[in-house]
A = this chain, B = another copy of it.
Amino acid sequence: MEQAARRSTIADVARAAGVSKAAVSFAFNTPERLSAETVSRIREIATTLEYRPDPVARMLAQRRTWTIGILTPQGLDVIFTNPYFGEFTAGVATAAEAAGLAIQFISPLHGSLTRAVDRASVDGIITVGLGADHPEVGQIRRSGLPFVVVDSTGLPDEPAIEVDDEGGARLAAEHLVGLGHRDFLVIGIEPPSATSGLEPAGVTARRLRGYDAGVAAAGLHLTEDDMVVGPASMEGGTDAFRRAWAAGARPTAVLVMSDAMAIGAMHAARDLGLRVPEDVSIIGYDDVDVAQFTDPPLTTVHQPIRQKGEEAVRLLLAGGRHRDEGSLEQQLLETRLVVRGTTARAPRGRGEVVDDGR
């Protein structure tokens, strides 16, 4: 994978056509500046010579890469494997392609996000799930690159795309309370690395707050003690549910902060002989594609994942500002509860104890 074959350059074409390099450039980029005749002659020769402008040289000269970066604290292996990220990225890709932009993934390189940011050649960055406490936001800010944050928290000065995490979580909890549930387990998302500290990342904290607000109607209170966390994958959900069960938790309802984890939790519950939703109700978060196809279909909190990606690109292109007013744009998209088949009335003969058996 060392050196490619010698390709013809703009100079070759110019020489062969008996014109300057600039003329060749014009023939492709601003043909109206040249006589139609010259243009067609140059193009013909270019075709013969199989001339193809070098994208890198073009980037250097234009000082523009025509690429936007997607920055996440998680490794590439989880990004590509996680349906939430997949759908988000699909949204970004759709909007980027429409704008003629390529995508570059920026994620910890040999464990260092900072280094990865330095090596990325992009015109702008979309961060996803990056907390205010991450040093990278300062780094990007200093680098002068435009950026917009998605799923962040505590960054009041940056253009942002968020969803109403708390409201959605609250809806989920209220739904369960309405079905008579009183014994809850919360399965949360573990921060990707130790760098973000031990306290729940922004999204996790917001959703937990929402769950708590939802159960308040029943006079209950949910804290981190009622929560078990793990990586946002199906395995992570299975594992988290098992750990909670082993620790004595006997919930009639499980509030899960990610659909992938919810699917894993369902699996674990069945393995333990529990029926869903008869013995235990499970409710996810995100409403990824697969949520419609589980058996039974997953009750979950919908958020407009692809739209978030598309809006992030639009906002980046708009310089992070509102069209007219020119003021900082921070968008809050809606979440809503989607009741499907994994939630049902609480089983009889339970309903007093709130905590998970600690």
Q: What residues of chain A have their CB less than 8 Å away from a CB belonging to chain B? A: 1-7, 50, 52, 54-57, 59-60, 63, 65-66, 68, 76-83, 85-87, 89-90, 93-94, 97, 100, 102-105, 109-110, 118-121, 123-124, 142-146, 233-235, 238, 263-264, 266-267, 270, 289-290, 292-295, 316-317, 319
Contacts and interface: CB of A to CB of B under 8 A. Distances in A.
Contacts of A110: 97, 100
A270 B295 contact: yes
A289 B94 contact: no
A160 to B, nearest CB: 16
A3 to B, nearest CB: 7
A143 B4 contact: yes
B146 A1 contact: yes
A295 B293 contact: no
A290 B263 contact: yes
A2 B66 CA distance: 10
| Closest CB pairs A-B (n = 7) | A5-B144, A76-B93, A55-B121, A4-B144, A77-B90, A1-B124, A80-B89
Contacts of A4: 63, 123, 143-146
A56 B263 CA distance: 43
A143 B52 contact: yes
Contacts of A93: 76-77, 79-80, 105
Contact of A90 (B7, B76, B109, B142): B76
A56 B60 contact: yes
A290 B80 contact: no
Contact of A77 (B63, B82, B94, B292): B94
B89 A143 contact: no
Contacts of A82: 86
A64 to B, nearest CB: 8
Contacts of A233: 289
Contact of A319 (B1, B103, B270): B1
Contacts of A85: 80
A92 to B, nearest CB: 9
A247 to B, nearest CB: 23
B86 A81 contact: yes
Given A1-B317, A143-B7, A319-B1, A119 B97 contact: no
Contacts of A294: 294-295
A63 B6 CA distance: 11
Contacts of A289: 81, 233-235
Contacts of A79: 90, 93
Given A7-B144, A104-B104, A145-B4, A121 B80 contact: no
Contacts of A2: 319
A292 B266 CA distance: 12
A59 B54 CA distance: 11
Nearest to A264: B293
Contact of A56 (B59, B90, B143, B267): B59
Given A80-B93, A97-B109, A146-B1, A121 B59 contact: yes
